[in-house]
Amino acid sequence: MTHVVIIGGGPGGYEAALVARRLGAEVTLVERDGMGGSTVLTDCVPSKTLIATSDLLHEVSRSAELGVEVPRAPRADLAAVNDRVLRLAAAQSGDIADRVASTGVRILHGTARVAEPGLVVAQTDGGEIELPADGVLIATGAHPRVSPDAQPDGERILTWEQVYALRELPEHMIVVGSGVTGAEFASAYNGLGAEVTLVSSRDRVLPGEDPDAATLIENVFTNRGMNVLGKSRMASARREGDQVVVTLTDGRTVTGSHCLLALGSIPNTAGIGLEEVGVACDDGGFIQVDKVSRTNVPGVYAAGDCTGVFMLASVAAQQGRIAMAHLLGDAVHPLDLKKVSSNIFTSPEIATVGLGHRQIEEQGLLVDTAMLPIASNPRAKMQGVHDGFVKLYARQGVGTLIGGVVVSPRASELIHTVSVAVSASLTVDHVADAFSVYPSMSGTVGEAARRLHRQV
pLDDT in tens, 231-290: 999 999 999 999 999 999 999 999 999 999 999 999 999 999 999 999 999 999 999 999
Share of residues in the chain with pLDDT > 90 (%): 97
pLDDT of residue 328: 98
Positions of E strands within 300-426: 300-302, 341-344, 349-354, 367-373, 389-395, 401-408
pLDDT at 361 over 90: yes
Alpha-carbon distance 133 to 118, whole Å?
5
Question: DSSP letter string over 149-183?
Answer: TB---SSSEEETTTGGG--S--SEEEEE--SHHHH
pLDDT at 1 over 80: no
Share of residues in the chain with pLDDT > 70 (%): 99
Report the number of secondary-structure helices (H) and strands (E) in the chain: 13, 22
pLDDT at 377 over 80: yes
* Distance (Å) of CA 48 to CA 42, 209, 272, 316: 11, 19, 30, 18
pLDDT of residue 454: 63
Q: What is the mean pLDDT of residues 170-186?
A: 98
pLDDT at 455 over 70: no
pLDDT at 176 over 90: yes
Terminal CA-to-CA distance of the chain, rounded, Å?
54
Question: DSSP letter string over 47-60?
Answer: HHHHHHHHHHHHHH
pLDDT at 456 over 50: no
* Amino acid code (one letter) for 179: G
Q: What is the mean pLDDT of the chain?
A: 97
Q: What is the mean pLDDT of residues 73-78?
A: 93
Alpha-carbon distance 454 to 147, whole Å?
52
CA angle 61, 71, 169 (to 5 degrees): 55
* Distance (Å) of CA 122 to CA 50, 302, 428: 35, 17, 52
pLDDT in tens, 32-48: 999 999 999 999 999 99
